[in-house]
Amino acid sequence: MRVALFITCVNDALHPDTGRAVVRLLERLGVRVEFPAAQTCCGQMQYNTGYRHESEPLLRRFAEVFAGYDAVVAPSGSCAAMVRDAYPRIGARAAAEGRGGRLAELAASVAPKVFELSEFLVDVLGVVDVGAYFPHTVAYHPTCHGLRLLGLGDRPLRLLRAVRGLTLVELPGAEECCGFGGTFSVKNPAVSVAMGRDKVAGARASGAEVLCAADNSCLTHIGATASRLGGGPRMLHLAEILARTEADGPALAAPARPSRTEGGVQ
Amino acid sequence: MTAVPLGMPAFPRAAESAVGDPVLRGNLRHATHTIRAKRARAVAELDDWARLRAAGAAVKDRTLRHLGHYLEQLEASVTAAGGQVHWAADAAEANRIVTGLVRATGEREVVKVKSMATQEIGLNEALTAAGITAYETDLAELIVQLGDDRPSHILVPAIHRNRGEIRDIFLRTMARWGRPAPDGLTDDPAQLAEAARLHLREKFLRAKVAVSGANFMVAETGTLVVVESEGNGRMCLTLPETLISVVGLEKVVPTWRDLEVFLQLLPRSSTAERMNPYTSMWTGTTAGDGPGAFHLVLLDNGRTDALADQVGRQALRCIRCSACLNVCPVYERAGGHAYGSAYPGPIGAILTPQLRGTATALDASLPYASSLCGACYEVCPVAIDIPEVLVHLRERVVQGGAVTRQGARVTIRPAKGHAAERAAMRAARWAFQHPRALRAAERLASRTRAAHPSRLPSPGPAGAWSRGRDLPAVPAEPFRDWWQRTRGGRQEGTR
């Protein structure tokens, strides 16, 4: 099986540690992961803001870059959902408007191959215990697209429960949106920040040392809100927890994200 | 639809003032969280909910596809049962028809059953202008009317008020509208309800004309249906001599059997009740029983234009249960008034721009009044994919395109104020099509990261972001550089 990593533009530019963790984790599980360097962005920001036409070339590029692979793993629920849920819609709309050439065909070819990380681990590799060690208290935030568009269900929780040393605690108001919403966060800043503050309050009330999610964009928003409020639990992508082993020791000696100094769990 | 109240700000600004009002925030949070939890329990009781929901969507879609046929059937049935049907193309025509009908009775006052359609067209204001007083009889609508306020929720129009505020309103203004509030009124719910009962009873017993809406209209028999919790609607529907019902075209269902689906979906979704407390049905007129004259005003007001929109038309399935408002994190913080129309919350964010267009700053901002979290779609009893329609309407705002207005196909221009955003989106798309340029930009950001501030002044996206959040730190090395540095020899798929 040829497996490609779709790092996503946000992870590439802002959270390379997550990508490194995914590579480390998959290689530990015996998957030879490839990184097609021609990949860029899925076009979610353009599409969700109303610029469907601007997202079309990015759909095309995505489908072409990942054409030769059997599976594409993305450490982002919302980007995986963009490909799986929105690409077929974009293709269908373009076809209905008599444009787009093979866009619908390209969307149909690539959409079923894309997996969010926890789906790939549980459904494709069939593993729940990935051999991780993380001796900390963790609360899990099920991001909206992971929860409602992908239907990740309890996959991330099963993975976390199998991590040695990890104590999973409940996040109050877990299923409520954190308020990021892509450009929503800048178009409606007052509401977005109010939502983020409630999420931070929930994370603090959980007593967790770490707030975990399968999407760094939500974590960036929650972490940046917490930072302005004077701190909160450390934000960590699911991959960065699952990648750690006993040889790494405890994680929280390193500075917490999103501080102004560099993070780096690995 | 009635014009937006003058000076109504666009959504983000209106929401900002609501976010800054701790009493409002508290009222909304308490009310929406209570009802959403109750709804979840009521829905979980039915093991065929998913099938009911699909059936509700299917009945509505089929009816909408043949809307003309069912409306003609409805008109024939209503007429045969002794009622009279009036067709209103827009708000002004509907208001003119109702005002004329009330005047013809010689009366100067009407009692009203809670109705979204009459709010949508601004009927109370039109009646006032014609010298006719409209008395709202729904408890929450009464609170809004007495408070000289605007409704902020489809089901609970006074959701933004707490008990103390309601007592103050009753004590201050009830006397001006009729029977005064009892002395020593407290904020005990039973006392508040009793004060409203006494106040309203006078109106029910005196009124000769009633105005209502309807939740459903059954084409095969010409029967109208109102579901309510208080019984005030039934008083209005049975006691007066003349009944005028103003109903949106989309409320028609083909047969009585279809009600079976909706009378299960609606109460559980809206009030979390297994069965609706008061379900009133009326068919034309019957000698010696109920109103002697019945008028049905069928309201278009943008509905057939919305029907022409293949993606947006699903909003016309809406049965006004308000479940989407109660789960919406944006509604919870922005409040209903920020949406600037009779229909707040997620459904308002898609229905209003379809009925009213996207020409004003407020209407163009409504499709963006959502984080696209999808909770609204999840709870919608007729499966309206609200996020899909929001994105579709955003496209209309920023790209313009072909829409149907008053039955004619016209091309609208993109809304104003999006030029910089459009340029940024195009620039981003260009960079994403040129990985080398993207990599250069990422490297530049990494190398200069020590100089990046944690906040920036407004305006601009970075300023909007950093008003309540720190800007994220940029790492020393983008992922793709790390990959190349450490696994350069294994770089498949490069182009």
* Domains, chain B: 11-303 (3.40.50.10420)
A interface mutation test: which of B17, B21, B372, B449 has the most A CBs within 10 A?
B372
pLDDT of B143: 97
Cβ neighbours of A253 (radius 10 Å) = 7
Tell me how close the Cα of A177 comes to any Cα of chain B, in angstroms.
6
Answer whether B277 touches A (CB < 8 Å).
Answer: no
Cα–Cα distance between B369 and B391 in angstroms, integer? 11
CB atoms within 10 A of CB A233: 25
Q: Is the pLDDT of residue A133 over 60?
A: yes
In 3D, which of B211, B22, B193 has the Cα closest to residue B100?
B211
A-chain CB neighbours of B461 within 8 Å are 183, 186
pLDDT confidence of A265, banded at 50, 70, 90? very low
Are A189 and B12 in contact (CB < 8 Å)? yes
Are the Cβ atoms of B442 and A39 closer than 8 angstroms? no
Q: Which of B21, B373, B397 to mutate to test the interface with A (most CBs of A within 10 A)?
A: B373
Cα angle for residues B34, B39, B41 (degrees, 5° grid): 100
Cα angle A176, A182, A184; round to 5:
75
Query: What pLDDT does residue A145 have?
Result: 97
Cβ atoms within 10 Å of A21's Cβ, excluding its own: 24
Cβ-nearest to A19 among B19, B374, B479: B479
- Would you tell me which residues 5-64 of chain B have a C-beta closer than 8 angstroms to some C-beta of chain A? 11-12, 15-16, 19-20, 25
State whether B482 and A16 contact (CB < 8 Å): yes
The number of C-alpha atoms within 13 Å of B287 and in the hemisphere containing its C-beta is: 0
CA distance B396 to A96: 16
**B474 and chain A: CB distance < 8 Å anywhere?**
yes
Average pLDDT rounded to a whole number, residues A47-63: 96
The CA-atom distances, in angstroms, between A59 and each of A144, A196, B391, B435 are 22, 30, 17, 15
CA angle, corner B3, sides to B381 and B403, nearest 5? 65
| Best residue of A31, A33, A35 to probe chain B, by most B CBs closer than 10 Å | A35
Contact flag A263-B475 (C-beta cutoff 8 Å): yes
Long-range contacts of B178-186 (CB under 8 A, 24+ apart): B178/B135, B178/B202, B178/B203
Tokens of B244: 């005028």
Q: What are phi and psi of A137, to 5 degrees?
A: -85, 130
Q: What angle do CA A201, A202, A207 make, to 5 degrees?
A: 100
DSSP state of A112: G
Please state the rounded mean pLDDT for residues A117-128. Answer: 98
Partners of B482 on chain A (C-beta within 8 Å) are 16, 19-20
What is the Cα gyration radius of chain B? 26
* Eight-state DSSP code of residue A123: I
pLDDT in tens, chain B (495 residues): 444 455 567 999 999 999 999 999 999 999 999 999 999 999 999 999 999 999 999 999 999 999 999 999 999 999 999 999 999 999 999 999 999 999 999 999 999 999 999 999 999 999 999 999 999 999 999 999 999 999 999 999 999 999 999 999 999 999 999 999 999 999 999 999 999 999 999 999 999 999 999 999 999 999 999 999 999 999 999 999 999 999 999 999 999 999 999 999 999 999 999 999 999 999 999 999 999 999 999 999 999 999 999 999 999 999 999 999 999 999 999 999 999 999 999 999 999 999 999 999 999 999 999 999 999 999 999 999 999 999 999 999 999 999 999 999 999 998 888 888 888 888 888 888 888 888 888 888 888 877 787 777 767 788 888 889 998 889 999 999 999 999 876 544 444
Which long-range contacts link B198-201 to residues 24+ away (Cβ below 8 Å)? Answer: B199/B142, B199/B174, B200/B135, B200/B137, B200/B142, B200/B232, B200/B235
- Could you tell me the two tokens for B56? 């509700």
What tokens were used for B32?
Answer: 């929406």
pLDDT at A262: 38
Q: CB contacts < 8 Å between A and B, how many?
A: 228
- pLDDT at position B464 is 86
Encode chain B in three state secondary structure.
CCCCCCCCCCHHHHHHHHHCCHHHHHHHHHHHHHHHHHHHHHHHCCCCHHHHHHHHHHHHHHHHHCHHHHHHHHHHHHHHCCCEEEEECCHHHHHHHHHHHHHHHCCCEEEECCCHHHHHHCHHHHHHHCCCEEEECCHHHHHHHHCCCCCCCCCCCCCCCCHHHHHHHHHHHHHHHCCCCCCCCCCCHHHHHHHHHHHHHHHHHHCCEEEECCCEEECCCCEEEEEECCCHHHHHHHCCCEEEEEEEHHHEECCHHHHHHHHHHHHHHHCCCCCCCEEEEEECCECCECCCEEEEEEECCCHHHHHCCCCHHHHHHCCCCCHHHHHCHHHHHHCHHHHCCCCCHHHHHHHHHHHHCCCCHHHHHHHHCCCCCCHHHHHCCCCCCHHHHHHHHHHHHHHCEEEEECCEEEEECCCCCCHHHHHHHHHHHHHHHCHHHHHHHHHHHHHCHHHCCCCCCCCCHHHHHCCCCCCCCCCCCCHHHHHHHHHHHHCCCCC
Q: Identify the pLDDT of residue B463.
A: 85
Residue pair A131/A245 in contact (Cβ under 8 Å)? The answer is yes
Q: CA B253 from chain center: how many Å?
A: 20
Q: What percent of chain A has pLDDT over 70?
A: 95
In angstroms, how far is CA B198 from the centroid of its own chain? 31
Residue A133 is classified by DSSP as: B
Please say if the pLDDT value at position A258 is more than 80: no
Q: Is B430 an 8 Å CB contact of chain A? A: no
pTM above 0.90, yes or no: yes
For residue A191, the distance in angstroms to the closest alpha carbon of chain B comes to 6
pLDDT of res. B428: 83
Strand order in the sheet with B252-253: B252-253, B216-218, B223-228, B278-283
Tell me whether B391 touches chain A (CB under 8 Å): yes
The CATH class that applies to domain A137-248 reads alpha beta
C-alpha torsion A34→A39→A41→A42, nearest 10? -70
Mutation target vs A (from B422, B469, B480; most A CBs, 10 A cutoff) = B469
Q: What angle do CA B300, B305, B307 make, to 5 degrees?
A: 95
Contact B473 A35 (CB under 8 A): no
ipTM greater than 0.85, yes or no? yes
Contact assignment for B473 to A260 by CB distance below 8 Å: yes
Residues of B with Cβ-Cβ distance to A31 under 8 angstroms: none
B190 contacts B94 by C-beta, under 8 angstroms: no
More confident residue, A131 or B494: A131
- B495: tokens are 């182009």
3-state secondary structure of A7: coil
Do residues B90 and B120 make contact, with C-beta atoms less than 8 angstroms apart? Answer: no
What are the boundaries of each domain within chain A? 3-124, 137-248
